[in-house]
């Protein structure tokens, strides 16, 4: 059976209202990230992944810099555990492979490390704090 959602890569200009709503719900409201730190200058220049339900609601997102740095992966609570996050990561990994990236990386929240390990990301170095949440850098080589 096909997924009950679609994933597209979009620019900030096209996806902004839906991307903002998902990140507001997950990072600002749920995780307590300060609103003035959630949206930054990288949004304009990143490639964004946006998952929509078949009804057209925004249900998950993420962003990737031109250097392969992935971040802001967020799935709305009611859609977790249904491989929407996996579909977002696969969209970025397909893009990175198609564009000959040597590697991709993510600053993973420590609680989400097992999610990234599913895609063979490997933890690097020490944990660090960002926006009050413990993180660790993880790397996936593509070559
Ligand atoms: C982390 C997150 C993106 C995962 O998305 P998801 O759509 O629920 O994940 P999937 O359904 O694609 O899960 C894929 C696999 O990873 C596992 N997994 C997902 N999140 C996990 C977590 N936090 N801890 C442990 N395992 C996890 C799943 O169990 C699944 O494994 P399985 O195939 O063996 O069953 C989502 O829970 C989320 O948005 N959390 C809040 C925001 C957040 O923490 N973002 C990450 C910032 S670094």
pLDDT on residue 80 = 98
In the chain, what percentage of residues exceed pLDDT 70? Answer: 99
How many angstroms does the Cα of residue 116 sit away from the middle of ligand 1? 8
Q: Where are the domains of the chain?
A: 5-101
As given in the structure block, the two tokens for residue 136 are 């660790």
Residue 87, C-beta contacts closer than 8 angstroms, at least 6 positions apart: 3, 5, 7, 51, 60
The closest alpha carbon to 21, from 52, 65, 55, belongs to 52
Query: What's the CA-to-centroid distance between 86 and ligand 1, angstroms?
Result: 8
Average pLDDT over residues 103-130: 98
CATH topology of domain 5-101: Aminopeptidase (3.40.630)
pTM of the entire predicted model: 0.98
Distance CA 109, CA 101 (A): 23
pLDDT at 107 over 90: yes
CB-defined site of ligand 1, < 6 Å: 26, 73-75, 80-86, 108-109, 111-112, 114-115, 118
């Amino acid at each position: 059976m096909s997924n009950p959602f679609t994933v597209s890569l979009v620019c900030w200009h096209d996806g902004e209202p839906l991307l903002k709503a998902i990140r507001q719900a997950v990072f600002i409201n749920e995780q307590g990230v300060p609103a003035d730190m959630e949206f930054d200058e990288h949004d304009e220049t990143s490639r964004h992944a946006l998952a929509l339900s078949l009804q057209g609601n925004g249900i998950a997102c993420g962003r990737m810099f031109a250097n392969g740095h992935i971040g802001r992966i967020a799935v709305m609570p009611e859609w977790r555990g249904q491989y929407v996050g996996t579909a977002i990561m696969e969209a970025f990994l397909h893009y990175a492979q198609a564009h000959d990236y040597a590697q991709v990386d993510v600053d993973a929240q420590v609680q989400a490390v097992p999610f990234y390990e599913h895609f063979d990301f490997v933890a690097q170095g020490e944990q660090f704090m960002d926006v009050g949440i413990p993180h660790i850098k993880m790397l996936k080589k593509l070559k």
